Amino acid sequence: MQAAEALLVLVAFALAAPVTAGADPGAERERELVALVRQDCGSCHGMTLKGGLGPALTPEALRDKPADSLTLTILNGRPGTAMPPWRPFVSEAEAAWIVEQLQRGLRDGAH
């Protein structure tokens, strides 16, 4: 059990390793990503991200969750639930950037 957990953590690190927090996708892509989160993630999590059929994605709801595992959830989905993998549409760096924005509180438009 412990070994399995350790392995998971390792895998998580291996996958997340090249991701530097705060990597900047560029202003135009950032706008696209914010729209993607609000509109398309929003179809389950709510456009205001307060939750729907999927859980809330507000800073309060995500505060205690490790960013790496959230990034992996975006990329790979969550098997056994409705959460699909978004890897076909966002890069690892972009997923990490989304998590950072969500934990901080998503702002619209470019900053």
Partner 1 sequence: MGRTERTLIASAALVLCGCASLGAQGTDDLGVVIERATGSVQVVDQAKRASLARIEGLGDLSHAAIVYSRDARYAYVFGRDGGLSKIDIAARKTVARTVQAGNSIGGAISKDGRLVAVANYEPGGVKIFDAATLELLSEIPSTYGTAGKRAKVVGIADAPGGKFVFSLFEADEIWVADVADPRHPVVRKFGNVGREPYDALITPDGRYYIAGLFGEDGLALLDMQNLDAGPRRILEGYGRGGERLPVYKMPHLRGWAIAGDYAFLPAIGKHAVLVVNRHSWKEVAEIPVQGQPVFVMARPDGRQVWVNFAYPRNSVVQVIDVAALKLVESLEPGKTVLHMEFTARGDEVWISARDSNRVVVYDTSDFRKLAELPAQSPSGIFFTWRARRIGL
Of the candidates 21, 10, 57, which has an alpha carbon nearest to the alpha carbon of residue 38?
57
Residue choice 12, 15, 23, 44 for contact with partner 1 (CB under 8 A)? 44
SS3 54: coil
Residue choice 37, 42, 70, 96 for contact with partner 1 (CB under 8 A)? 42
Q: Is 39 in the site for partner 1 (CB under 8 A)?
A: yes
Least distance from partner 1 to the Cβ atom of residue 85, Å: 6
- Region class of 90: left (phi > 0), else alpha (psi between -120 and 50), else beta: beta
Q: Is 105 in the site for partner 1 (CB under 8 A)?
A: no
